[in-house]
């Protein structure tokens, strides 16, 4: 079996049989496309001819290209998964990728916004008429209120909400459902947006997703990134953030204000408590910073 054939069969398997998320499949497809296009691999090469040294060369090649440790480790994970699949289903007699080690990934604390920064950004659609005021205000308030991922917020439909829009069921990573919550500002912003959407597109509007683009079609994660980029870039707050910064800010605020870590884990949909505990480190750093500013001798 050639590298190209193995990749095609593997991608079909994880999408149709294992039903992994679209984002996971796309990331894996991108990584394996890189893999088969590397000069010392090649799409027509027999997979069984590839040795551990070839795989190490791939990692070295990406390192020379200045790829981040996280990007390289994701590539390694995709290659490992491909070889494990081919070994399991008899396309390989030996899995050489088992010995392929990940590289050290320096731990970075998640980037989050301060209270003043998040408040300014949430007000930006009202004060800076860049795109669609009511929709963008609702998006920002709901992202901050719930801690949702970008893919989760754009996938929301009316059927996902309870009666007063105070909570909704979202489907996160691993197709796991969880309930997220929206405080009054987010609820009011959502209601104002839905009324404005009806005025724009009329009663005949049949798009099932809550958030739509200016043509009335479902908003994508790419569209959401563009909206946030406009309001947080040079035309807006001049403090560029990503959609995930809202999630980090939500988690940091919850932990800083005394929420139990396991409750925050549940709200974020983290499978591991260690992922959530990163936000306790942020809280500790913030406490030290405040101490150094407040204590006379620390100054």
To the nearest 10°, the Cα dihedral for 265, 269, 275, 277? -10
Shortest CA distance to 32 belongs to which of 41, 19, 20?
41
Which member of 134, 137, 197, 270 is catalytic? 270
Contact 4, 36 (CB under 8 A): yes
Contact 33, 82 (CB under 8 A): no
Residue 203's DSSP bridge partners are none
Q: How far is CA 232 from CA 2, 56, 242, 246, 253, in A?
A: 46, 40, 9, 12, 20
Contact 190, 247 (CB under 8 A): no
Enter the DSSP assignment of 248: H
Which member of 36, 134, 135, 247 is catalytic? 247
Which member of 191, 200, 209, 244 is catalytic? 244
CA distance 242 to 226: 9
Which member of 36, 149, 197, 248 is catalytic? 149
Tokens representing 134 are 């009511």
CA distance 233 to 209: 27
Contact 91, 113 (CB under 8 A): no
CA distance 81 to 60: 19
Q: Is 270 a catalytic residue?
A: yes
Q: Is 173 a catalytic residue?
A: yes
* CA 112, chain centre distance (Å): 14
Q: Is 279 a catalytic residue?
A: yes
CA distance 270 to 135: 28
Tokens representing 184 are 């009054």
Q: Is 244 a catalytic residue?
A: yes
Which member of 144, 165, 231, 279 is catalytic? 279
Which member of 173, 209, 278, 286 is catalytic? 173
Q: Which residues are catalytic?
A: 149, 173, 244, 247, 270, 279
């Amino acid at each position: 079996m050639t590298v190209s054939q193995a990749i095609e069969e593997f991608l079909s398997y994880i999408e149709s049989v294992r039903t992994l998320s679209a984002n996971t499949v796309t990331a894996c497809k991108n990584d394996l496309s890189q893999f088969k296009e590397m000069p010392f691999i090649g799409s027509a090469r027999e997979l069984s001819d590839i040795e551990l040294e070839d795989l190490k060369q791939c990692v070295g090649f990406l390192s020379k290209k200045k790829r981040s440790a996280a990007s390289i480790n994701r590539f390694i994970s995709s290659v490992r998964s491909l070889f494990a699949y081919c070994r399991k289903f008899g396309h390989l007699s030996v899995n050489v990728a088992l010995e392929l080690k990940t590289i050290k990934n320096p731990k970075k604390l998640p980037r989050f916004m301060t209270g003043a920064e998040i408040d300014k950004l949430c007000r930006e659609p009202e004060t800076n008429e860049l795109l669609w005021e009511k929709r963008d205000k609702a998006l920002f308030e709901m992202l901050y209120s719930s801690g949702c991922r970008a893919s989760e917020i754009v996938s929301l439909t009316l059927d996902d909400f309870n009666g007063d829009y105070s909570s909704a069921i979202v489907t996160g990573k691993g197709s796991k459902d969880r309930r997220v919550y929206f405080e009054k500002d987010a609820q009011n912003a959502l209601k104002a947006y839905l009324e404005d959407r009806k005025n724009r597109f009329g009663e005949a509007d049949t798009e099932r997703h809550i958030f739509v683009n200016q043509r009335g079609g479902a908003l994508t994660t790419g569209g959401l990134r563009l909206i946030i980029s406009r309001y947080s870039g040079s035309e807006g707050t001049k403090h560029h953030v990503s959609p995930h910064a809202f999630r980090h800010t939500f988690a940091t605020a919850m932990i800083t204000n005394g929420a139990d870590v396991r409750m925050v884990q549940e709200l974020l949909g983290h499978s591991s408590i260690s992922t959530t505990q990163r936000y306790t480190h942020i809280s500790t750093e913030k406490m030290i910073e405040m101490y150094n500013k407040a204590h006379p001798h620390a100054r």
